[in-house]
Amino acid sequence: MDTIFFALLNGVIHGLLLFMVSAGLTLVFGMMGVLNFAHASFYMLGAYFAYTLQGIVGFGPAVVLAALLAGAVGVGVERWFLRRVHHHGHAHELLLTFGLSFIIAETIKLLFGNHPVDYRVPASLDFAAFSLGSQQYPVYRLLMGGVAIAMFAALWALLTRTRVGIVVRAAIYRPRMAEALGHNVQLVFMGVFGVGAALAGLAGAVAGAFYTTNPNMALEVGVMVFVIVVVGGLGSLGGAMLASVLIGVITSLAVGVDRSIADLLAFLGARSWAEGIGGLLTLKVSSLAATIPFVLMLLVLLVRPRGLMGEEA
Partner 1 sequence: MSRSWTLLLLGSGVALLAALPALLSAGLLNASIQMLIAALFACAYSLLAGRAGLLSFGHAAYFGVGAFATLHAMNAFAGKGLLPTPLLPLVGAFAGLLVGLVAGWFATKRSGTTFAMITLAVAELLHSLAPQLKGWFGGESGISAMRMPAWGLTFGSTVEVYYLTLAWVLLSLALLHFHGRTPLGRLTLALRENGHRLKFLGYDAHGVGLSAFVVSSMFAGIAGGLQAINNEAANYVVFDASVSAAVVLNSYIGGVGSFLGPALGAALMTFFGYAVSDATRSWLLYQGMLFVLVMMFVPVGLTGLFGAAARLKARRGWRLAVSVSALAVVATLCAAAGVVFVVEMLQRLCSHDYRALAAMGGSWPPIALFGRSWPPGSVATWLVPAALLAVAGLLGWTARRALVSPAVPQPEAAAIDGQEALT
Which residue in 128, 138, 147 sits closest to 60, CA to CA? 147
Q: Which residues bind partner 1 (CB under 8 A)?
A: 33-35, 81, 84-85, 88, 90-92, 94-96, 98-100, 102-103, 106-107, 109-113, 219, 223, 226-227, 230, 278-280, 283, 287-288, 290-291, 294-295, 297-298, 301-302, 305
Collapsed DSSP state (helix, strand, coil) of residue 37? coil
Rounded to the nearest angstrom, the gap between the alpha carbon of residue 234 and the centroid of all alpha carbons in its chain is 15
d(CA 285, CA 270): 18
Rounded Cα–Cα distance for residues 308 and 239 (Å)? 6
Q: Minimal distance in Å, beta carbon 92 to partner 1?
A: 6
Cβ of residue 34: shortest distance to partner 1, in angstroms?
8
| Crossing angle of helices 139-161 and 185-210, rounded to 10° | 170
**Closest C-alpha among 26, 6, 78, 42 to residue 240:** 26
Nearer to partner 1, 98 or 173 (CB): 98
Q: Provide the 3-class DSSP secondary structure of residue 213.
A: strand
Burial of residue 181 (CB within 10 Å: 0-12, 13-18, 19+) is: exposed
Q: Give me the least distance between CB of 162 and partner 1, in Å please.
A: 30
Nearer to partner 1, 21 or 144 (CB): 21
Smallest distance, Å, CB 141 to partner 1? 25
- Do residues 69 and 49 touch, judged by C-beta distance below 8 A? yes
Min dist CB 77 to partner 1, Å, is: 11
Smallest gap from Cβ 171 to partner 1, in A, equals 19
Q: How large is the angle between the packed helices 39-57 and 59-77, nearest 10 degrees?
A: 140
As measured in angstroms, the least distance from the Cβ of 290 to partner 1 is 4
> Of the two residues 108 and 197, which places its CB atom closer to partner 1 in the complex?
108
Among residues 126 and 258, whose Cβ is nearest to partner 1?
A: 258
Residue 8 or 85: which CB sits closer to partner 1?
Answer: 85
Phi-psi domain of 235 (left: phi exceeds 0; alpha: psi -120 through 50; beta: other): left
> Which CB sits closer to partner 1, 173 or 294?
294
- Residues 98 and 77: their CA atoms lie apart, in Å, by 12
Q: How far apart are CA 100 and CA 93, in angstroms?
A: 11
Task: Tell me how far, at minimum, the Cβ of 89 lies from partner 1, in Å.
Answer: 10
Q: Which residues pair with 132 in a beta bridge?
A: 135
Q: Beta partners for 213?
A: 117
d(CA 278, CA 25): 40
Complex with partner 1: residue 58 or 305, whichever CB lies closer: 305
Nearer to partner 1, 30 or 201 (CB): 30
